[in-house]
Chain A
Amino acid sequence: EAQVTQNPRYLITVTGKKLTVTCSQNMNHEYMSWYRQDPGLGLRQIYYSMNVEVTDKGDVPEGYKVSRKEKRNFPLILESPSPNQTSLYFCASSGTLMGNEQFFGPGTRLTVL
């Protein structure tokens, strides 16, 4: 089954404790991206990657890091999480450069205390 998976689905952590949210797709997609969803703000792009070893900042990259060492994986790293990073996070992938249709993962709800 073609899908984008994220882990964990739910995470409660404390300020400053480094964490990684994994994202994996099995569709051989080149383009992957991370979004955060906040009430009243919709989805905002954090980082995106057009291919292996190619990443770039989106709309709200501050406080986040990403890496793309393999085509299928695109982890999101919070080196020192803060309460304002409490949000719902989505990973997405598409087949071509910023392909018209993105496939989204199920989301990761992160709470930073």
Chain B
Amino acid sequence: DQQVKQNSPSLSVQEGRISILNCDYTNSMFDYFLWYKKYPAEGPTFLISISSIKDKNEDGRFTVFLNKSAKHLSLHIVPSQPGDSAVYFCAARVNNDMRFGAGTRLTVKP
């Protein structure tokens, strides 16, 4: 069963605009959420995370929002840059169990 879902396989935005990537989860026991970015032929790299006790975490152009009641989190990238074009994975953790979504391919057009 997919406990973490990214329902949009792809997203295309214009350079300078906001990118919003969404993620839904089903397990209310998840206590930590992360976003990873993956370029072709490379392993995923950590981007940003948020604890379940918070509802927002910001790091430069990247902000993650967590809505526990809706079991939903989102990643905002502002402003988007062509170098942000990659596959973004949402992940959620409880104890030793880490679950990933299927990924969203973001394309930022110049």
How close is A5's CB to chain B, nearest CB, in angstroms? 10
B102 touching A40 by the CB < 8 A rule?
yes
Q: Which of A42, A48, A50, A101 contacts B89 (CB 8 A)?
A: A42
Q: Which of A44, A98, A106 contacts B95 (CB 8 A)?
A: A98
Tell me the bound Cα distance from A100 to B45 in angstroms: 12
Q: Using a Cβ–Cβ cut-off of 8 Å, how many residues does chain B contribute to the interface with A?
A: 25
Q: Is A104 at the interface (CB under 8 A from chain B)? A: yes
Q: Is A41 at the interface (CB under 8 A from chain B)? A: yes
How close is A50's CB to chain B, nearest CB, in angstroms? 7
- The interface residues of chain A lying within 8 Å CB-to-CB of B41 are 106-107
Tell me the bound Cα distance from A76 to B46 in angstroms: 23
Q: List the 8 shortest-distance A-B pairs measured between CB atoms, nearest first.
A: A104-B43, A43-B100, A42-B102, A42-B100, A101-B46, A104-B44, A98-B96, A42-B101
Residues of B within 8 A of A (CB): 2, 4, 6, 32, 34, 36, 41-46, 49, 89, 91, 93, 95-103
Give 20 pairs: A residue, B residue, CB < 8 Å, sorted on A: A4-B43, A35-B100, A40-B102, A42-B6, A42-B103, A43-B44, A43-B100, A45-B99, A58-B97, A59-B97, A90-B43, A97-B96, A98-B98, A100-B32, A100-B49, A100-B93, A101-B34, A101-B46, A103-B46, A107-B41
